[in-house]
Amino acid sequence: MKTAGLFLLISALAVGVLIMTMPSLRRKATLLRIFGPSKKRQPEQCDNIDFTVDHIQNKHDNCKGILATALFVGSGNEDRFEGKYLLPLLKFNETLRRNVGSFAKSWYYRVYIPQDFPEKAKTLLLNADIEVAVLKSKNHKYLGTLWRFLPLFGNDPFLCCDSDSNDYMAEWDKIEKWYQSNNTFFHRKVAVINSLWPVSAGSWGCKPKSLSSKVKSQLKTQLTELAKTCTDFGCDELYLKKFVYPLFFQYGVEKHKVYVWVEVVFILVIALVVLTTLKQRTYRST
C-alpha cells in the first residue's frame, strides 16, 4: 500500500510539473481541444464570418512551399503582440533566408492579417520579403488562429506554424523527404501533447493539390460553420481534430515524432517510479 501511495504521489507531482511548465496545458482550452465546446456553454452566433483573402503582397510564385501563420492584435495580446509574436517572426524569417540549404530557401513565410492590422507592423513584414495576405474581414476573439489553414484550399504545399516558434528550422531534411513522398500530409507529432489532442495547430502541413475540389469545399464549409459557433482559444485544434486529422489516414501522412524536454522529464520520472515499484515487489517476493 505504501508503494502504491508513493507511486501515485510521484506521478501526481510529475503531471503537476508538466502542466505548470507547459502553458498550452494550463488553459481551459485544453478541455475544448479534447472534448469540444461544453454543452452547457451558450454557442456563439457569428454569422458574418468571411475567410476571403482580399489580396496577397510580396507573393513568390516560384516558391516550393509556404510557412503559413497569422497575426492579429486583440484578444488580450495587445501588450505583448510586438515582443512575443511580431519580432520573433521577423527573426525566424531571417534564419530561414540565411539557411544554406536551397530547399529551405525556396520556402517563404505567408502571414494572414486582418483589415485593421497596424500599418507599421505590416510595413516591417513587407520589408522582410514576407508574403502578406490581407483578409477582407477583421478578427473576432481567436478567429485569426484559423486563418493559417487557408492554404488548405489552394494548391501550394504549406506548413502551418506558430509565429512565436521556429520548430521547423532544424527539420528541413524531414520536410524535404515528405515533400518528395506520396504522402499528402506532414505531422510533427509532439509525443505527450498529441496524445491529448491529435494535432497541434503549428505542427502540420499539407500538399493540397492531392485533395479533390469536393474535399476542399467540404473543409472550407466545415471551417466556416465551426467559426460561426466557436472562436475561443483552441478552436484551431478543435477544427483539425474533427475535420483534418481523419484525412491523414485516407491520404497518407509523413510522421515525425518529437519530445520536448518537459515531456522527457515526465516520462523518465514515470519510468523510474515503475522500475522502483517492480524492484521492491521482486525483493519482497524473494
E strand or H helix that includes residue 266: helix 261-285
Low-confidence stretches of the chain (pLDDT beneath 50): 1, 20-21, 26
Q: Is 160 helix (H, G, I), strand (E, B) or coil?
A: strand
DSSP 106: T
CATH 3.90.550 assigned to domain 29-259? The reply is yes
Note the pLDDT of residue 203: 93
Note the pLDDT of residue 268: 63
Note the pLDDT of residue 180: 97
Torsions phi, psi for 29 (to 5 deg)? -60, -20
Q: What is the pLDDT of residues 238-255, one digit of tens each?
A: 999 999 999 999 999 999
Note the pLDDT of residue 283: 57
Model pTM above 0.75 = yes
Contact between 266 and 17 (Cβ < 8 Å): yes
Domain boundaries, the chain: 1-22+261-286, 29-259
Q: Which positions ≥6 away from 110 have C-beta within 8 Å? A: 56, 66, 67, 68, 69, 130, 131, 132, 133, 151, 158
Q: Is 256 helix (H, G, I), strand (E, B) or coil?
A: strand
Q: What is the pLDDT of residues 53-70, one digit of tens each?
A: 999 999 999 999 999 999
Note the pLDDT of residue 284: 58
